[in-house]
């Protein structure tokens, strides 16, 4: 910390800075396609049964094949905030039932907004 900042804090009787909080209106939040892609990624949503973890045993890559690996969990039912995405992904694959990504993200943002308004976030 610079000496002038330290002196100022000392005079104010503070030990550290209090950072200003910047809040967003979720309804106006940027619709980042990356967020949408992550929510839909079966490796994250838990619907990809064939995928392998960095930390699961892979004889082709691993150094150690003699110890038990962390078992993959059964694909879990996606619940909560992202439940809509998971339910849709398992019930209606994109190839047969195209979804509207922007609507999905807007739904997510609305729910975030509601949670903030309710003091849950």
Q: Is 89 in the site for other proteins (CB under 8 A)?
A: no
**Rule CB under 8 A: which of 53-72 touch other proteins?**
53-58, 61-64, 66-70, 72
Please report where in the chains the tokens 């398992």 appear, as a residue. 90
CB crowding 69-95: b at 16 or more within 10 Å, else e: eeeeeeeeebeeebebbbebbeeeeee
**Please, what is the minimum distance in Å from the beta carbon of residue 104 to other proteins?**
13
Do residues 72 and 48 touch, judged by C-beta distance below 8 A? no
Q: Is 15 in the site for other proteins (CB under 8 A)?
A: yes
Please report where in the chains the tokens 């838990």 appear, as a residue. 46
Query: Which positions touch other proteins (CB under 8 A)?
Result: 1, 6, 9, 15-17, 19-24, 26, 29-30, 32, 34-35, 38-39, 41-46, 48-58, 61-64, 66-70, 72-73, 75-76, 78-82, 108, 112, 121
């Amino acid at each position: 910390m610079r000496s002038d900042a330290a002196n100022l804090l000392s005079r104010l009787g503070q030990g550290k800075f209090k950072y200003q909080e910047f809040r967003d209106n979720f309804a106006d939040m940027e619709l980042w396609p990356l967020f949408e892609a992550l929510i839909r990624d079966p490796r994250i949503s838990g619907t990809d049964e064939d995928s392998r973890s960095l930390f699961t045993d892979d004889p082709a890559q691993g150094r150690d094949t003699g110890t038990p690996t962390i078992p993959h969990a059964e694909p879990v039912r996606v619940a909560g905030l992202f439940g809509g995405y998971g339910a849709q992904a398992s019930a209606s694959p994109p190839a047969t039932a195209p979804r509207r990504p922007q609507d999905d993200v807007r739904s997510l943002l609305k729910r975030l907004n509601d949670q903030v308004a309710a003091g849950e976030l």
